[in-house]
Structure 1
Amino acid sequence: MPFRLSTPRAFLPLRHATFRTLWLATLASNIGMWVQNTGAGWLMTSLDPAPLMVSLVQAASMLPVFLLALPAGALADIIDRRAFLLGAQAWILAMALLLAALTATGSLGAWGLLALTFAIGAGSAMNFPAWAATTNELVPRDDLVGAIALNGIGFNLARALGPALGGFAIAAAGPEAAFVLNAVAFLVLILALIFWRRPPDPKGRIPKEHLVSAMRAGLRFVSASPAMRAAILRACTFFLFSAAVWGLLPLFVRQRLGLGPEAFGLMLGVMGGAAVAAGFALPSLRGRLDRSGTVFWASLLISLAMGILALSTHWLPAALGMLLYGAAWIAAGSTLAASAQLAAPAWVRARAIAIYQLSFFGVMAAGSALAGWVGGRFGVPIALGAAAVCGAVATFAVRGWRIDSVAVAPPASTAPEPQPEAPAAELHALLGEHSGRVLEVVRYCIDPGEREEFLKAMQEVRRVRLRSGAVSWRLYEDVAHPERWVELWAVESWTEHLREEARRTDWDRAALARAAALHRAEGPPEAARFLNVEP
């Protein structure tokens, strides 16, 4: 029998040519970004070595995600995603070239470095949700989870290579060389996006959403999605305390270990290498632990890693700490990201991912700045030790919020969904984007003996309505006739009402059918729609 080498499972999504091209280009841009971050962090230790200022470099790169992620996600859902991604990369390229020029001429101060780091972070903030949502377009559903994991592997491979490359570039030609390398890397991604021929969006009869209403719809979806809320909470508690390493590592290497930029880059490279190795090991780990368990043990491991760093005065135990830190980071980070992406349907995916990223990047910025303040007052080792202890305590505190507790779809039901009558012809001219709010009503007749079961079913119906676009929802029981119930919810406009059906998933339809099946009268529950009219 001839011997054949099989493709490792982690690499299967790369068989899709477009995904492969964009993945490789994104890998190049991520390497450039880590080169840039390494250069900026090290340059600040020369411009202003105060712990707070050094930690603010990391905060400045993450804060834009907190400020811009939601509008970026909304735009990525409602305009051409390829053009949006091209614009974000062009902005990053321009800011990287400006940073390199100012550094080379000696015209850059500490606050100027923070401002340009913030500007580059703004481009990245626009890029993150759009790229994450694009993955679904590039691979079939069977390869989606693998593609998400491969994106994480690529990011951490860049983390392994970029800091080391940045450290050697700084040693050889100064921080400006790191900034030039970042610009070149983003030029590669721009070229890949130019050659990507994305199929045009299908033209539907419903107009595209506007930015503000799209942002509100994204927020409503996340607030009504238990799986998204759990992923966000677990991510916030994980990244808030683990961000201490990102904010303090340049000072830790320079002052605590007494080493130079090459060692700083290599420390980050050790962490990135461990993350890549852990990424390949995750598929076998998932067979033994569910997603919640993976995040729990990874959170404890990263706390242990920070504790080792806090006690280290030599590069060898520090490297061990960074090794554990990198493995825990990818295990928790990729698991949380996959949970968030799988919890969001296509129509709101970029917005949901943006809100998830907004949350954890925001707490990372806060955690990095907080660690810098503690480090300035009490010393870097104390700050790292405090982060380790607080991180471990927080891990146990949020353990009950399970990210793999997505409910199984309700049993299939033959009960038809309530269908309202068609609009009257004389009102057609009033129905559209500017119609004003639409009140939707469904009337149920429920056996009083099934009251508790009905209320339980309506809890999920409420979440379905809110996820699909409702701005408010109420359920009323007739005090004179306890078998009579009225469900009311409002949407922003007639156009928003038309979007409701397109937004529902199979799970949502099953939940609605489950509630309708409890109706005890002839025919389905009565449904109606009312247009808000100002007298």
Structure 2
Amino acid sequence: MEDEQMTVGPSLHSTGVMRAKGFIPLWTAGAVSTSMMWLEMLAAALFTFNATNSAVAVAMVSACRSLPLLLSGALMGVVADAVNRKKIVFFGLLLASASSTTVALLSLLGALSTWHLCAAALVSGVVYATEMPARRRMIGETAGASLASRAVAVDSMTNYATRCIGPLLGGWIYGALGVATSYFLSAAASLCAAALISRLECMQASTERLSLYRIRRDLSEAWRYARDSRTIMALLIATIITNLCGYSYNVLLTPLGRENFNLSALMIGVLSSAEPAGSFVAGALIGSARMRGRSLRWLLSGSILLFLAIAIAGFASAYRCSLVLLLLIFFIGGLGSAAYNIHQTTIVIESVPSAMRSRVFGLVTVGIGCWPIGTLLSGALATVFGPTEALVVLGLTGIAGNGFLAFRAARARLRR
């Protein structure tokens, strides 16, 4: 698939993904910003739980970070088609740095409250809403269509590593130095990432001027395209289910660690890192292989494995399993999470025309934006039934939903 939006390096089969023009700055900036996002998420969760002792409050703070994805994800896809994507990433990082600095200063002044964290999370969510249609798209396109899945796997593998490092740093720094230091570190890291992006050479074809009419037209065209494509529609539904019932399990780890295992802030960070550690291992395997075709099957199978791990973790925690066993269960779930995430991006890059790509990524971002609804649901379930029972309900629901999609996809293949 030829792409006219981004210049790429020559003969990537011989030079490799890492030597693709523009890949290193985009990859590094993503690693830095993602690790700080997870650091902030854990620091905010610990601060909120200590202040309120409420799983619902923790869920609300976490939900604010993803609410902009739901409300503005499709719009960001249109904007990323019309505005220079390098500028979108650059100014987004500057905005994230300013937000983190504000939280840190409020903490030093002793004025920090939960609503301040909600406001900062909303700002971070607006920036993150540009991730797939801007930076993530650029990552795939630097490598060209033939190596897009490998480039996305390398980027995803790094994100999984940062999901391990971020919570560990967040737990350690919060416990030793407090919330102010956590957010100051995040602000400095975002500035460094912005400096890397500022040096990126990116050529993007000129587009029509952004207007209200064009936004309506482009959103309508993107929805029609998705509706008429079985693969993209299945991708969108699976994305909604996985973010409603899958990744929302993260907000249960703080109350689960405190109430069921009496863990310290650092050990809650370790627990939060188990699933992304498994994803890192799987991402390394996928990144070293040339996996082409059957992306939807890999995506659905991976999500089902993640849901199975979540359900088993809930059952095991209810029977007071050891922490080592719980870490192993989430680690295995991370293997499925990697297959799901990598192929979520690969499906769009491989099957969607370049002119439509950012807009479809925007629709996928809306599906990811269902995560705040899932976090609120998880918090409510934990309040009524407890965190272990909430894990079981989320896992079984996800298995049923994405299992049905996998069944329909298999039946469609047999009919062809």
Assess same fold via TM > 0.5: yes
The higher radius of gyration belongs to 1
Contact conserved, 2:64 with 2:372, CA < 8 A, in 1?
yes
What are structure 1's unaligned runs of at least 5 residues?
1-8, 407-535
Select the structure that is richer in strand.
1
One of 327, 341, 358 as aligned partner of 2:349: 341
Sort the Cα spacing of 1:335 and 1:401 in 2 relative to 1 into closer, same or farther, 3 A. farther
One of 390, 395, 409 as aligned partner of 1:402: 409
**Secondary structure of residue in 2 paired with 1:62:** helix
Aligned-pair Cα RMSD in Å: 2.5
One of 322, 327, 334 as aligned partner of 1:319: 327
Sort the Cα spacing of 1:158 and 1:380 in 2 relative to 1 into closer, same or farther, 3 A. same
Alignment of 1:118-157 (within 5 A): 118-157=122-161
What residue number does 2:181 align with? 177
One of 269, 272, 297 as aligned partner of 1:293: 297
Matching residue's letter, 1:131 = R
Sort the Cα spacing of 1:286 and 1:230 in 2 relative to 1 into closer, same or farther, 3 A. farther
| CA distance, structure 1, for counterparts of residue 123 and residue 243 of structure 2 | 22
| CA distance, structure 1, for counterparts of residue 205 and residue 362 of structure 2 | 21
Sort the Cα spacing of 1:379 and 1:289 in 2 relative to 1 into closer, same or farther, 3 A. farther
1:287 deviates by: 6.2
One of 7, 16, 20 as aligned partner of 1:16: 20
**Secondary structure of residue in 2 paired with 1:201:** coil
- Alpha-carbon displacement from aligned partner over 1:425-477 (angstroms, at most 9, x marks no partner): xxxxxxxxxxxxxxxxxxxxxxxxxxxxxxxxxxxxxxxxxxxxxxxxxxxxx
| CA distance, structure 1, for counterparts of residue 297 and residue 96 of structure 2 | 37
Contact conserved, 1:42 with 1:250, CA < 8 A, in 2?
yes
1:61 deviates by: 1.0
| CA distance, structure 2, for counterparts of residue 239 and residue 401 of structure 1 | 20
Deviates more, 1:94-103 or 1:139-148: 139-148
Query: How high is the TM-score relative to the length of structure 1?
Result: 0.69
- Alpha-carbon displacement from aligned partner over 1:171-202 (angstroms, at most 9, x marks no partner): 22012211111111111121011111222535
What residue number does 1:526 align with? none
- Alpha-carbon displacement from aligned partner over 1:3-42 (angstroms, at most 9, x marks no partner): xxxxxx9x93112242112211221111111111111111
| CA distance, structure 2, for counterparts of residue 240 and residue 21 of structure 1 | 32
What residue number does 2:361 align with? 353
1:249 deviates by: 1.0
Contact conserved, 1:227 with 1:405, CA < 8 A, in 2?
no
What residue number does 2:277 align with? 273
Select the structure that is richer in helix.
2
| 1:61 maps to 2:54 | no
1:301 deviates by: 2.1
**Secondary structure of residue in 2 paired with 1:108:** coil
Sort the Cα spacing of 1:186 and 1:405 in 2 relative to 1 into closer, same or farther, 3 A. farther
One of 157, 164, 180 as aligned partner of 1:160: 164
One of 191, 199, 203 as aligned partner of 1:199: 203
1:404 deviates by: 12
| CA distance, structure 1, for counterparts of residue 107 and residue 157 of structure 2 | 32
What are structure 2's unaligned runs of at least 5 residues?
1-12
One of 366, 370, 381 as aligned partner of 2:377: 370
| 1:47 maps to 2:51 | yes
Sort the Cα spacing of 1:126 and 1:238 in 2 relative to 1 into closer, same or farther, 3 A. closer
1:294 deviates by: 2.5
- Alpha-carbon displacement from aligned partner over 1:267-320 (angstroms, at most 9, x marks no partner): 122222211101122368886993343234323322331133212233122211
| 1:330 maps to 2:338 | yes
